[in-house]
Amino acid sequence: MDGILLPLITPFAADGSVAADALAALADQALTDGATGVVALGTTAEAFALDADERRLVLDVCARVCREHGAALAIGAGGSDTRASAAALAAHPDVDAALVPVPYYVRPGEAGVIAHFTQLAADSPVPLLVYHVPHRTAQPLSGATLLALSRIPNVVGAKVASGMTEDAVALLGGCAPDFAVFAGDDAYLSPMLALGARGGITASAHLATERFARLVSAWHKGDVDTARPLGHSLARLASALFAEPNPTVLKGVLHAQGRIPTPDVRLPLLPASEQSVAAALTLL
């Protein structure tokens, strides 16, 4: 598993329901334009605000489109309760991987994080991707802990959303070649690829998907002359899209492009300002 895995938004119709047709169209277009797979029900999907029926609808739509393209499907699953996380993983045996966050809020310590993933990986019917996002979980991890996680059987990769920090560099420099590190902070995709990341789980790739896929290909081929300016350009776009809480600006842009029926998000998120949306559109 490598390349661009797109963490899909959940578009909403004017009546507040999930806009399933728009969701399918977003997934189809991204896979046509070079994404290698999608992540359903991740942070960008506002999964926290979806009920069980809505989550099932989103997963069904994503699974169908991925089957049509022969593409990878990962699902965001798990939380801070190890037993509940194991049950959530057991409920989805038909996906290619599960993106599981480091336990948030409880701050179990690094040894607790290792124990959490060791137990989940032993019981999970699908391979696990560790989601390391310390600004959301309040649980930082050292490079040594990330490397320990990378050696747990059935943990096949990690989404690293800690920026270009010592822990990220240590993981990239010390993990096994078959362990898939994905950049999770969109603005740092290019430098992460330069240091050996396999790809990115990047919300910004809803837009300019082909350019994001080309950036991954360029770094993998060692084509620095292509990768460096392209990486700078896409980093500027990513910064504009994250000027307000994700995915508010992204949804505003997609709505302005006519690709989703509304720019709506669910509380406590608020729609992005017109200025932020305009700034991102200008960079496109």
Catalytic (active-site) positions: 131, 159
Task: Report how far residue 171's alpha carbon sits from residue 185's, in angstroms, rounded to the nearest whole number.
Answer: 15
DSSP SS3 for 106: coil
Residue type, 32: T
Task: Report how far residue 159's alpha carbon sits from residue 100's, in angstroms, rounded to the nearest whole number.
Answer: 9
The three-state DSSP-derived secondary structure of 182-205 is EECCHHHHHHHHHCCCCEEECHHH
C-beta separation of 209 from 35 below 8 A:
yes
Residue type, 253: V
DSSP SS3 for 11: coil
Half-sphere exposure in the Cβ direction for 249 (13 Å, CA): 22
Residue 150 to residues 24, 28, 106, 222, Cα–Cα distance (Å): 33, 31, 22, 25
Q: Which residues pair with 3 in a beta bridge?
A: 199
